[in-house]
Amino acid sequence: MKALIQRVKEAKVYVEEKMVAEIGGGLVIFLGISKDDTSKDIDYLVSKVINLRIFEDEKGKFNYSLLEEKGEVLIVSQFTLYGDCRNGRRPDFTKAASKDKAKKLYLEFIQRIKKENLRVAEGIFQARMLVDIHNDGPVTISLES
């Protein structure tokens, strides 16, 4: 399981020119799920994401986590994180989970984040989305279980 996280001032998701989700300050999580992932991968990534100290203190040092900041979360499924570009010119997505497995684990990930008493918004699984992100820093971190 892969998560590309961005610290944001705000973010919105649009589907067919209609806004379907938005958050204020917090994290956007692009979540990629592989065919080998399980609930254990979710446990690892949820713990890492909510406790990762990437929010600044009064001196500008990364000292606060999402939980401490009480930040908001926008979760967007992103199978393209499993695009293998080592051979040829077109990404190979054979390591990405099947649609059914990916949706199940994506929804489980969302529920686990919600259990942390954070405000959670989400994209629409398998929709073509426009994600409007105001990256803060910019801070972008790649995590993998």
Instruction: Indicate which residues carry an active-site annotation.
Output: 80
How far apart (Å, rounded) are the C-alpha atoms in residues 16 and 13? 10
Bridge partners (DSSP) listed for residue 45: none
Q: In terms of DSSP H, where are the helices of the chain?
A: 39-51, 66-69, 99-114
How far apart (Å, rounded) are the C-alpha atoms in residues 94 and 83? 8
Sorted by sequence, the CB contacts under 8 Å of residue 51 that are 6+ apart come out as 65, 66, 67
